A and B are shown apart, each in its own frame.
Chain A
């Protein structure tokens, strides 16, 4: 592993190395930022389905709050995405 790193370092300028590290970091940031909301939305919708099955008469209220919850959870992924585009392209 160290030999590979040395080989890469020998063939790249410091500027290229920095660019590559920034690109990899931005990718990790976006990926990690999308994992959390994915888990959160799955949990949220699962619990909403349970609630609708338990109390069908409250389905409208559950769906309303579920939709808002999904949108709030998704905001985290959007923040990660914006950090990614700012790191990568701005």
Chain B
């Protein structure tokens, strides 16, 4: 590493761990999707089930888009990654707002079900994934799949 080079001029090449993490989260989200829709259906009826499906789709899209943006920007430069992360936050909030505004008056959408599903699935999937990642970072020897979660990847100058 060149000591005189600004950290923002560097790039982080190598594997993209956030893509692996988000792929894991999306896979788990799809696995629990029927269960979440059934629970929402029991509480709010059929509209609740459809709303829960929509909420889950929004959450999974949010994770996927965040990972895609970071993994696209990081190999180019860390400065771009920082900008893309912040504007990506704005973009993703805007997209979620737009999606909810578009369906707010639709007959098959229940807003309480949609809102609660967004919060619960977002946090639930994160905690689920965090347990796995915390274990694999703290105890590399216990890592179920060493290729999926590299403990390091080189940051390179462009």
Contact = CB atoms under 8 A, between A and B. Distances in A.
Contacts of B67: 67
B116 A64 contact: no
A70 to B, nearest CB: 7
Interface residues on B, range: 35 or more
B21 A64 contact: yes
Interface string A62-90: 01111110111011011101100110011
A64 B22 CA distance: 10
A39 to B, nearest CB: 10
A70 B85 contact: yes
Interface string A28-58: 0000001001100110011001101100111
Given A49-B81, A53-B1, A64-B18, 20 more contacts: A49-B79, A52-B7, A52-B10, A52-B78, A59-B155, A60-B14, A64-B17, A64-B21, A64-B133, A66-B18, A68-B21, A68-B129, A70-B85, A71-B122, A78-B119, A79-B119, A81-B93, A81-B96, A81-B97, A90-B115
Interface of B: 1, 7-8, 10, 12, 14-18, 21-22, 62-63, 66-67, 70, 74, 78-79, 81-82, 85-86, 89-90, 92-93, 96-97, 100, 104, 111-112, 114-116, 118-119, 122-123, 126, 129-130, 133, 137, 149-156
